[in-house]
Structure 1
Amino acid sequence: MNGHGEKEERPNGDVAGAEDAAAVQRSWAAAFWQQLCALLRKHWLTRSRARQVNVLQLIQAPLFMFVVWVIVRSILQSNRLTPGIQDNPNPPAKPIGGIPDCTSNVYLRRDRACLDFIYSPAGHPFVEDLVRDIRRANPGAAIPEERVRGVSDMWAADDFLLANWGTVLGGLHFVLPDDLAGLQPGDAYNASAVQDVGFVVQTNSTTQWFKGQFQHPNSYAQLPLQLAAESALYRAMTGQHGADGEAHQPFKIALAEFPAPVLVTGNIEGQTAPIFVFASAMFNLVIVLYGVVQERHLGLRSAMRDMGLLDSAYWASWWIAESAYAVLSACLIVALGHAFSFSIFTGNSTALVLPLVVLYYLAVVAFGFLLATLLRKPGATVPVGFVAFFLGWIMIVVVNLFATTGITSLPRAALGVLFAFPWTVLGKSFVDLDEAASGSGASGGLTWANRISYCVSDAPTVDMLAGMDAQGTYVSTQCVLPVGDALWVLAVQAVGFLVLSLYLDNVLPDQFGMRRGLFYFLQPSYWREPEGTARSRAAGRAALRDAGEREAPKDAAVAREEARMQARCRAYCRGPLAPSADDASAGAGRNTAEAPVIELFGLSKEYSVRAKGQRSTMRAVDGTWLGVQSGTCFCLLGHNGAGKTTTISCLTGAIAPSSGDALVHGESILTPALSHIRSAMGVCPQFDVLWATLTGDEHLKLFSAIKGVPRRLWTTEAARLLALVGLERAARQYAGGYSGGMRRRLSVAVALLGSPKVIYLDECTTGMDPVSRRHVWELIHRVKKGRVVILTTHSMEEADVLGDTIAIMARGRIRALGSSLELKGAYGSGFAVSVVLKPPGESGGGGNVAADVGAVVARAMGGLKPTESSARLVRYHVPAGMQSDLHELVRVLEEQPQVNDVQISMAPLEDVFLAVTRRAELEAAQDAGDMADAWLPAVEGVSGDTPGGAAVPGTRVRVRVGEERVRGPDGTVYGLTWGQDEMGQLKLHDVAPLSAQQLSAMQQDPSGGVKDAVAAGGSAAACALPVSSQPPRRDSDTPPASRWWQRAHATSPKVRRGRAGRPPPVRVGTLKQHIPPTASNVAALPIPAPPVPAATPMGERADNRFEDAAVVPDDPPSSPGTPVAQTQRSGALHRMRSATTSSIAGVMRAINGRRIGNVGEGGAAQDVPGEAGPSGP
C-alpha cells in the first residue's frame, strides 16, 4: 500500500497486497531463531536423503560392538584351552624320562651331526665307566657311542659348544675326589669314594617355542641328565655298575606343578571396548568434517552469509544436529553393551556409564568442528580423520598400559597432553570401570555415589580395607582422573573445542581472504553494530589522495564519472551526502536529482603473490570510481581476470577491499556488520551454490528464512519466484537433477528473494538455452525498475540488450563507460548496410540485379564495394569517416526499383569491447616494455644452415608487443597481426610481407612508420624454439608476478618442440599459425616501442578501414610468407541492434541513437513502443 492507501505495483510486475515479501529488519533473537529453525530443517532434509551415509552411521555402532563381542569370546575360548590359565587344584605328575634323542629335536642344527651330551674329563677310567653305564641304561633306548663325546675339562667344553653351537643337548662334568683322581685303567677303586664324586649339568637355558609348543630346558634336558648321572653313581656305589637295561634304575622321579587357581588377567572388555567405542565416534567425526568443509568449499556458507546469515545460527545448527546424532549413537552403544552382557556396562551403574559415553561423543563432535576450521578441501577430511584415529589409538594403548601399573609415575606434563583429548579420558575411565566390575567388590562396580571416592591417594590401612570389603567397595590407589572428574573434563572439552572453533573460524582467512583480528571479541563493534562512518570517511580521504597521483583516464565518460564521484566523496567526508545536480544528468534520463544507490570511492583490491621466491603485489581492482542510479541495469564487461567478480565480491562483503570504500544505500561496506546492506541485496554468484539433495522450493524457503522474509509468505514467495523463472514444474525436483540452465535460473530466483534493492548477477545466464536466456532477460528488464541490477557477462548480445550503462574493465580499471550506442559511437568502426533485393518475377527483379545495384552504389559512394553479394542480398561496410554520406547512399538505394529493403546497423559491441581491451593491453605492454619473438618468413636468396646441415629458412626477430609493421634485416616490410586470448593478452599469430599496394597506402598514411627489426641472437640450434619457452623480459623495477598471474599474462603462448627443426604451431585460443624458424645469427637489439594510438572518435579513424577478424587455417601455408586468408565475420556470431527503414529519416534516427527496434531471435526487427534513448533495456 502506498501513502494514499492504494495498491502499488511491485517492481517485478506483480501487485502487492497487504502482505509484502520484502525482508524486514528483525531483532537479533528473532533472526537467530528463524535462521536456526530453517537450518535445522535443512540438516534434517539433507541427512535424511543421504541414505548410504545414514545406513553406515546406524550400523557402525552395532558392528563395532559385535567385533568387541567376537574378540572377547575368542580370547575366553582360547583361555579355556590353556592349562596355565585355568583352575588347577590337583596338577598331575609327569615322570622324568631318559636323555632325549638329539636327532628328534627340531631346534638343533641340521647341517652337522648332533650329540646327546658331552662329558669331562675324557679318558679317566672311572668317568668312562660311568658314561658307558649311562648310555647302556638310558630308559627307552641306549645311546649310541657316536652321539656322546668327551672333553678334557669344562673350559674345553665351552670352547666346543661355541664352535659347534646348536648341536649339543647338554653336558655332564664330573668332579672327582683325590682317591679317584689318580686312578689308572685296570685299577680297582673303593666304593666308598664314589659318594664324594660331584657333577655339573650344563644345558641351554633358553626356552624354545614353535607353533604354540614350548620346550623348557629344565624338564627336557637338565632333569634327564641329572637323573642319569645320579642313577649311574648309585649303581657304582651299590656294585651294580655295568648292568644293562631299565630294571636296574634305582629312582622313579616325577615332576608336578603346584596347585594354582584360575589366572585373573583383568577383563578383556576393558582393554578392547575403549578402542572400538573410540572408532565409532571417529566415524561421526569424519562425517562432521566433510559436511562443514564441503559447505565452505562449495561456497554455500558464503552464499548464505551474503543473504544475512548469522554465524551464531550457522554453528548452533551444526552443533545441535550433530549432537543429536552423537547422543543417539552413545545411547545405542550403551544399549548394545547391555545386550552383549559386557560387564563394563552391566557391572557398573548406567547412570554413570551413559553420561560418560554421551559426553565423550559430544567432545569428539566439538573436536571435529575444530579440525574443520583448519581444512579447506573436502578431500582432506578422510586422510585427516585417519591420522586422528591412528594417533588416538596409540594414546589409548599407552593409557591402558600404564593405567593399572604406573600411571602415577608419568610426568604431569605427559598426563596433561594425554588427557587433553577425549579418547584418552574415555580409555582411563573404562579401565577403572572394568576393574570395578571384575574385582572383588560386592556392590556391582561403580555407582554415581562413589564415582570419585573409590580413588584414594594413599594406600588404605588394614582397618579401611576390612570396612571396604565388608561393604563390597572397589578401591583404586592409581588415583589419576577418576570417573567423576572425567565427566567434567569431557564437558569442558566439548565446550572448549567449540569455543576454539568459533575463534579460529573468525581469525583464520576464509576462501576469500576475509578474517577478523586476533582480539576481535574485545572490540565493542563485535557486540553491537557500529555506524563505521569514521573508518569509511578515512578510507574515502585516502582514496582521494591516491586518485590525485594516478594517471587520468583516457575515456572522457570515465573521466567525468570519476570527477563526479570524487566530488561526492569529498562531500561525504565532510558530512551526510545529498543528491547533486550531477546526479540528475547521470540518472539515465530521469528528471529529478537522485543520489546513486551504489557509490564506489576509489575501490581497490590487492593480492600478495609469490614468484621465484619473491613476493609482489597484484591489483585485481585498481581504484574504481563509479556511481549507479536506481532503475539501472549496469553491465560490467571484461576478459577473465579483469576484476569484475572481485568488484562484486567487495560490494557484497565477501572480500574486504584493500583501499577505498563503497556505499550501498548510504551504508559503507567497511562496516563490520553488513546486515543492513545484505538484507537489501540479492546475489546470483558466478557459480551455482545449491544443495544437490534439496528441491527448488526448499531452497527458496531456506533462503527466505535467512533473508528475513516473514514465515507466512515463504510458500507463496517461493511459488511466485519459481514461476517467474519458469521452474514451477520442477519445484519438487532435487537441484542435483537440474540441468545447468535450470540451476542458473534457480540462482536468479534466490537473488530476487525478499524484494532486494540491489541485485548482483554474475554471469547469470551461463549455460542457458536461448529460450530460457530470453526469458531471464525479460525478467531482468522488469525487476530493474526501482532497483539497481549489477550484471557481469561475457555475452556481448546480453550486454547490448540489457545494459543501460556498460562499463568495460581491463586490468582492474574501467576503460570505457556509457550506453551501448554511446560506446559504439566512440569506438565503433562504422556502419553495416544490408540491401535486400527483389526476387525474380517481381517488378524490378530478375537479371543481374546485384551487379546493377553495386555499380550504382560505387558511383554514388566513391567506389564503395560490397563486402558480401548474392542474388538476394548485398552488404556494405560504411567506415565511420563516411557517416555524412549515409544520406546519399540511402537516397540512391530508395531510387532503385530492384531494392526491396534497406537495413542499417552500427558496429557490434564485440568490436567495441575488443578495441577497448586492445588499447588497454597496448598501454600495459608499453609501460612494461614487453617484447615478443616473431618468425619472419624467408625471402628469396636468404637461407642458413643448422649445425646438422639442414637448411632452415626464415629469421627470428624481437618486436615490441603491439607493433603492427616491422622491417626485416633484408629490408622487407612485414605486417604483424595480433590477437587476444581468453585473458585479453595480446598474442602474435600472423606475420606476412606487405604487398606493393599496402606499402603504397602505408606511405600515404602519416602514422604508418616502420620499425627496423633485428634478428634475435644465438645460433640456429638455439633458435629452434620461439620465445614462448622463455619468460617475458620486463623492466628491472617491475616486481615479478606470481606463477598463475604470469601464466595468465605471458606475452607468448606455450609451445611444443617441432619436427625437423621447425617450431610447432603457435596456438592462441582457437587460432593456429605455422611460422618457420630462423637461420640467422645476428645479435639481438631492442626495438623502439611504437606509439600507442589514442582513442579516435567515430569518423576519425586513422586507417579508415573496417577491421575484419582473421581466421587462421589449421594447416600451415604451403610456402613461407603465404598470407593468411581473411574472412568476413559471420552475422550469426554477433547479435546487434538494427533498424529497418526505407527513409532517410529512419536512417538518421538509427544513427543518432534513437532506438527503433531490437533484433529478435530470428534476426527481424521488433518494435518496442514507449521506450527510446540509451536507457532502454
Structure 2
Amino acid sequence: MNPPVSARNPSDMDRIVLATSVKFPLASYLMDPAFDPGSPSPLYYLQSKCKANSSIPYPSGQEVKCLECLHLWRNSSSDVNKELYKCKGGNKQHKEDNEFAAAFDFSDSNGAKYNMTVWHEETQVTNFMMGITFEYNRLPRWLNLASNAYLQVLQGPGTQMLFEFIKEVPTIIRLDSRVQGVLDFLLRIASFGLLIYPVTVLVSLIVYEKEKNLRIMMKMHGLRDTAYWAITYFYSLIISVLFVQFFLIAGEISGLTFFSKNDYTLQSIFYFIHVNWQISFVFVIAALVSTVKTAQVISSSYMMLVCVLAFFVAGRCIESTDISSSVVLLVEIFPGFALYRGVYEFQKYATFARNGADVGMRWKNLSDTGNGMKTAMIIMVTEWVVMLLLAYYLDQVVSSGSGRTKSPFFFLPTFRKKPTSQQSMQINSSQVLPGNNQSDVDQERQKVEQLMKEGSRTHTAVCDNIRKIYPGRDGNPAKAAVKGLSLALERSECFGMLGPNGAGKTSFISMMIGLTEPTSGTAYIEGLDITTRMDEVYTCMGVCPQFDLLWETLTGREHLYFYGRLKNLTGSTLAQAVEEALKEVNLFHGGIADKHAGKYSGGMKRRLSVAISLIGDPKIVYLDEPSTGLDPVSRNSLWSVVKRAKQNRAILLTTHSMEEAEALCDRLGVFVDGALRCVGNPKELKGRYGGYFIFTMTTTSGKNDEEVEDMVVSLCRNAVKTYHLGGTQKFELPKQEVRLADIFQLVENAKSKFPVQAWGLADTTLEDVFIKVTRQAQARSSDE
C-alpha cells in the first residue's frame, strides 16, 4: 500500500510510487501488483504506532515496512468527500490522490443494523485482464477492518470475523463508477453536439430567403438591412432560448446530475451567452454563402469537425497538466471550444456533486483555481460581438445574393458616397452613341437634359445617361449591357420596354431596383439618386419580378399583410388595402386568399405577385412580364388592374407580348444591343416604322408563285417580298403608292387566271414594327 504524502521523503518518490503502466509477466496479472516478485517497490503495513526494527521479511524478497497511520475524525460523509476531492473540485489547495488510505462512515449503524460506507484508494492499483480488477482484491481488507471494529464494539474485544471475498447482493440498480465515467463522457459529448446542432437549422432558414431572392424582394419593398437583421436575430434568439430551456428542463426531469446539481441560473446565463454567440456565428456563414445546400454542407462539416476536435484537442489540453494556460486559452478561441470548456466544467462539478463532494457548480466556484468557466464566458461574449460586426461587414461587401454591395472601406467617411439631389447632378447626357441619332431617341435625351437643368420634379423617374459595363473575363472583352440610356417617365404613365433576349433590359431593370450598381450615369426616383439613396428609393417603389418570389408556407392574404406593413400601412387602412388588392386580382373569393401560396397555380401566383407590387401606393412600379402564364380571362382582368393602377404612379413594364404592350402602354421603347432604338406611343411607331400594307396570297403547290409576284410588282413598283414558303408569299406595299381598290382588283384578276387558296390584307402591326427595328439595329451593330 502507498503511504500518505506526509510520510514520504522526496528522494523516495520514484521508488515507492506504484505505476500502473508497469508491464508485469502474464501470471502476475492474476495477483495484486504490490505482491509481484519483480516489483522493486517496497510494501508497507499500517500501524497506529511503529516500533524500532518493525520491518518484516517477505518470501519474494521484498521488504515490508511499518507505516504509521493517523486516524482522523470527520463529522459527516460530506466532510469526508470535501477532504478527499480537494484535488479535483477546483479548490486552491491541491492534494495528492493517495494521501488518504481509506475512509469509513458507519452512518446509522446500531445493534440491529449494519450500514457502512467505505472509501478506498484505487487510482494506482487498477489493472484490467480477463475481467479482473485488483481493487476487489484489496477491498476485503478494509471491510475486514471496519466489520471487525463494529463486531468488537457490540461483542467485545475478542470477537473477530474474516471476509475472504466480496459479492454484491440484490440492491437498487446503480452504475459502477467506470460505467458512470463513460456515460459522463458520452453525456458531455452529446450535450455539446446537441447545443451546436441549431447552427445547421438557423443558417438554412436564413440562406433560404437569400437563395429564393425573398430577402432582396423584401428589401425592394422597403425593408432595411438593419431591420431585417434585427428581426432575424430576435426570431433566432427566441427559438434558441426555447430550445435551451427545453434542454435544461428535460435534463432536470431526467434526474441527470449534469443539470440538477449545477446552479440553474448559472447554466441559463452560460447557455444564453452561447445562443447569442451561435446566432452571430450563423450570420457570418449566411453572409458568405448563397445556397442552402452549400450552407448545410459547411455547417454540418463544422459540427462534425468541432465535435471531433473538441475531444481530441480541447479535451486533452484542458485535462493535461503539461500544457500552459496560455495555450489552452488560444485553443478555446477556436469557435465552439469555449462552449466545450463550459460543458466540461459543468460535468466535472456535477460528477463531484454526485459523489457527495459538493452541490455542483455555483457562482462562487467561478473563482476556483482550474475552473475555466469564467474564461469560456468571456471568450464567447467577445466572439459574439466581433462576429456580429464581421457578419454585418461581410453582408455589405460580399456579393452573395443580398443586393448591391459596398466598398470594402464603406465605413470610412472618405469612401462614402455623398447623397446628391437631382438639381446638383452634373449632366451626363452629352455623349451620343454612333449611329444612334434617331430623332425620337434624341428628343428623349434632350428632354432629360432639360429636366436635369431645371431640376423639375414633374417626372417620377429620370434616367440620365445610365450605363452598365461588365468587365471581361477569361480573355473575353468587356460587355456593354446598357450603353447610355436617357429616359423620363411621367406620373400616370405606363412605359413599355421591348427588346429581344440579351438586349440589356434585365441589366437596366436590375440597376433601377438596386440589384446592381451603374457603371456610370444615374437615375432619379422622385428626385432620389439610386446610386446614393437607394434605401429611400426602396420605400417608394413596387416590384413584380419575372419569377414569383413567394413563401410557400404563407397564404396570399399573409403576403399582402406583410408587404403592406413594409409600406407603413396599419390597422383598418392595411386591412382595406389587402382586401381591395385581393379583389383586384381575383384572389378574394372562394377562400383562395387563405390558401398557402405553395398550393397556388402558376397564374394565381402571378396575380399575387402583381398585387404585392401595387400595395402601399408606390410611386413607381416595375412589372417584368406580368401576364406570363395567365389564361386570356385572367390576363384581361390583370390588364384592367394595371390600367387603373397607373392613374397615380409611373409603371415600367417589360414584355414579349405585343398585344399586352399595345393594350397597356402609353409609350414604348425598343431596346436592342444595350441602346434605345426608338421611343413613342404604339400608333406613332406603327405609323413611323410601318406605312405599308401586308399583302398575303397562297396558291396551289406554288405553281403560280412567279405569276403572283409579277402581278404585285406591276401594281406597286416598290413592293418588297418578305416571306415565301410552300406557295404562300407576303409583300409589303407602301401605302402612298397603292389604293385598296387596286389591291382588291388584283385579287380578282388572280382568281380568274389560277386557283387562289387564300389571301389577306393587313395594316402594319406592332410586331412588324418590333421586327423591323430590331433587324435594322442588329444590322447596324454588326456593321460597326
Return the TM-score normalized by structure 2.
0.69
In the TM superposition, residue 554 of structure 1 has moved relative to its aligned partner by 4.0
Query: Equivalents in 1 of 2:504, 2:318: separation in Å?
Result: 61
AA at the equivalent of 1:544: S
Q: Which residue of 1 aligns with 2:39?
A: none
User: Quick one: structure 1 residues 377 and 609, their matched pair in 2 at CA, closer, same or farther if it must change by over 3 Å?
Assistant: farther
Q: Which residue of 2 aligns with 1:717?
A: 577
Query: Equivalents in 1 of 2:627, 2:713: separation in Å?
Result: 47
* 8 Å contact from structure 1 (residues 805, 819) kept in 2: yes
Query: Equivalents in 2 of 1:512, 1:369: separation in Å?
Result: 13
In the TM superposition, residue 411 of structure 1 has moved relative to its aligned partner by 4.6
1:570-585 counterparts in 2 under 5 A? 571=453, 576-578=454-456
- Among 422, 445, 467, the alignment partner of 1:604 is 467
AA at the equivalent of 2:407: G
* 8 Å contact from structure 1 (residues 867, 875) kept in 2: no
User: Quick one: structure 1 residues 903 and 820, their matched pair in 2 at CA, closer, same or farther if it must change by over 3 Å?
Assistant: farther
1:514 matched to 2:404: yes
SS for the counterpart of 2:463 is strand
SS for the counterpart of 2:445 is helix
- Among 739, 742, 765, the alignment partner of 1:908 is 765
User: Quick one: structure 1 residues 875 and 733, their matched pair in 2 at CA, closer, same or farther if it must change by over 3 Å?
Assistant: same
Query: Equivalents in 2 of 1:407, 1:655: separation in Å?
Result: 56
* Higher helix fraction (1 or 2): 2
AA at the equivalent of 2:449: Q
Query: Equivalents in 2 of 1:858, 1:605: separation in Å?
Result: 47
SS for the counterpart of 1:452 is helix
Number of equivalenced pairs? 605
Return 5+ residue gaps in structure 1 as ranges.
1-90, 97-207, 217-255, 457-477, 580-594, 836-853, 869-873, 928-1177
In the TM superposition, residue 605 of structure 1 has moved relative to its aligned partner by 1.1
- Among 268, 271, 274, the alignment partner of 1:354 is 268
- Among 393, 403, 406, the alignment partner of 2:318 is 403
Q: Which residue of 1 aligns with 2:78?
A: none
In the TM superposition, residue 636 of structure 1 has moved relative to its aligned partner by 0.6
1:620-1019 counterparts in 2 under 5 A? 620-675=481-536, 677-728=537-588, 729=590, 730-828=592-690, 830-832=692-694, 861=715, 879-886=732-739, 888-889=741-742, 905-927=762-784
* 8 Å contact from structure 2 (residues 421, 527) kept in 1: no
In the TM superposition, residue 604 of structure 1 has moved relative to its aligned partner by 0.6
Structure whose CA Rg is larger: 1
Query: Equivalents in 1 of 2:714, 2:256: separation in Å?
Result: 106
In the TM superposition, residue 761 of structure 1 has moved relative to its aligned partner by 0.3
AA at the equivalent of 2:510: S
* 8 Å contact from structure 2 (residues 429, 445) kept in 1: no
* 8 Å contact from structure 2 (residues 695, 733) kept in 1: no
In the TM superposition, residue 299 of structure 1 has moved relative to its aligned partner by 1.0
- Deviation digits for residues 841-865 of structure 1, max 9, x if unmatched? xxxxxxxxxxxxx99x989946999
* 8 Å contact from structure 1 (residues 597, 629) kept in 2: yes
In the TM superposition, residue 558 of structure 1 has moved relative to its aligned partner by 1.3
Query: Equivalents in 2 of 1:92, 1:859: separation in Å?
Result: 122
Query: Equivalents in 1 of 2:477, 2:732: separation in Å?
Result: 45
In the TM superposition, residue 717 of structure 1 has moved relative to its aligned partner by 1.1
Query: Equivalents in 1 of 2:716, 2:32: separation in Å?
Result: 132
* 8 Å contact from structure 2 (residues 346, 361) kept in 1: yes
Q: Which residue of 2 aligns with 1:563?
A: 446
In the TM superposition, residue 401 of structure 1 has moved relative to its aligned partner by 1.8
- Among 418, 429, 432, the alignment partner of 1:544 is 429
* 8 Å contact from structure 2 (residues 216, 403) kept in 1: no
- Deviation digits for residues 441-496 of structure 1, max 9, x if unmatched? 64312212x1322x23xxxxxxxxxxxxxxxxxxxxx35x3x23433433333333
Query: Equivalents in 1 of 2:374, 2:720: separation in Å?
Result: 98
In the TM superposition, residue 606 of structure 1 has moved relative to its aligned partner by 1.7
SS for the counterpart of 1:406 is coil
1:218-257 counterparts in 2 under 5 A? none
SS for the counterpart of 1:558 is helix
Q: Which residue of 2 aligns with 1:499?
A: 389
SS for the counterpart of 1:687 is coil
Query: Equivalents in 2 of 1:770, 1:335: separation in Å?
Result: 59
Query: Equivalents in 1 of 2:356, 2:761: separation in Å?
Result: 104
AA at the equivalent of 1:759: V
* 8 Å contact from structure 1 (residues 347, 437) kept in 2: yes
Q: Which residue of 2 aligns with 1:533?
A: 421
- Deviation digits for residues 229-270 of structure 1, max 9, x if unmatched? xxxxxxxxxxxxxxxxxxxxxxxxxxx99xxxx977984454
* 8 Å contact from structure 1 (residues 630, 787) kept in 2: yes
* 8 Å contact from structure 2 (residues 280, 388) kept in 1: yes
In the TM superposition, residue 684 of structure 1 has moved relative to its aligned partner by 0.6
User: Quick one: structure 1 residues 692 and 825, their matched pair in 2 at CA, closer, same or farther if it must change by over 3 Å?
Assistant: same
In the TM superposition, residue 697 of structure 1 has moved relative to its aligned partner by 0.5
1:419 matched to 2:276: no
User: Quick one: structure 1 residues 441 and 520, their matched pair in 2 at CA, closer, same or farther if it must change by over 3 Å?
Assistant: farther
Query: Equivalents in 2 of 1:780, 1:599: separation in Å?
Result: 21
Query: Equivalents in 1 of 2:334, 2:230: separation in Å?
Result: 24
Q: Which residue of 2 aligns with 1:367?
A: 281
Query: Equivalents in 1 of 2:564, 2:403: separation in Å?
Result: 27
Q: Which residue of 2 aligns with 1:1086?
A: none
Query: Equivalents in 1 of 2:259, 2:133: separation in Å?
Result: 41
User: Quick one: structure 1 residues 387 and 512, their matched pair in 2 at CA, closer, same or farther if it must change by over 3 Å?
Assistant: closer
1:188-207 counterparts in 2 under 5 A? none
- Deviation digits for residues 604-644 of structure 1, max 9, x if unmatched? 11222412xx3642221111011122222211111222111
In the TM superposition, residue 426 of structure 1 has moved relative to its aligned partner by 2.3
Q: Which residue of 1 aligns with 2:344?
A: 431
In the TM superposition, residue 517 of structure 1 has moved relative to its aligned partner by 2.7
Query: Equivalents in 1 of 2:622, 2:264: separation in Å?
Result: 57
AA at the equivalent of 1:607: Y
Return 5+ residue gaps in structure 2 as ranges.
1-29, 36-126, 135-163, 166-175, 698-707, 753-758
Q: CA RMSD in A?
A: 4.2
- Deviation digits for residues 827-885 of structure 1, max 9, x if unmatched? 337213699xxxxxxxxxxxxxxxxxx99x989946999999xxxxx999663435342
Q: Which residue of 2 aligns with 1:275?
A: 189
Greater Cα offset, 787-796 or 391-400: 391-400
AA at the equivalent of 1:789: I
* 8 Å contact from structure 1 (residues 829, 879) kept in 2: no
User: Quick one: structure 1 residues 308 and 859, their matched pair in 2 at CA, closer, same or farther if it must change by over 3 Å?
Assistant: closer
SS for the counterpart of 1:610 is coil
1:447 matched to 2:356: no
SS for the counterpart of 1:446 is coil
% identical equivalent positions? 28
User: Quick one: structure 1 residues 272 and 861, their matched pair in 2 at CA, closer, same or farther if it must change by over 3 Å?
Assistant: same
SS for the counterpart of 2:459 is coil
Query: Equivalents in 1 of 2:675, 2:720: separation in Å?
Result: 39
Q: Which residue of 1 aligns with 2:230?
A: 316
Q: Which residue of 2 aligns with 1:380?
A: 294
Query: Equivalents in 2 of 1:372, 1:859: separation in Å?
Result: 69
Query: Equivalents in 2 of 1:320, 1:862: separation in Å?
Result: 76
Q: Which residue of 2 aligns with 1:140?
A: none
SS for the counterpart of 2:595 is coil
AA at the equivalent of 1:559: D
1:36-55 counterparts in 2 under 5 A? none
User: Quick one: structure 1 residues 731 and 341, their matched pair in 2 at CA, closer, same or farther if it must change by over 3 Å?
Assistant: same
Return the TM-score normalized by structure 1.
0.47
User: Quick one: structure 1 residues 344 and 878, their matched pair in 2 at CA, closer, same or farther if it must change by over 3 Å?
Assistant: closer
AA at the equivalent of 2:358: S
SS for the counterpart of 1:533 is coil
Query: Equivalents in 2 of 1:688, 1:263: separation in Å?
Result: 61
In the TM superposition, residue 316 of structure 1 has moved relative to its aligned partner by 1.3
- Deviation digits for residues 1109-1154 of structure 1, max 9, x if unmatched? xxxxxxxxxxxxxxxxxxxxxxxxxxxxxxxxxxxxxxxxxxxxxx
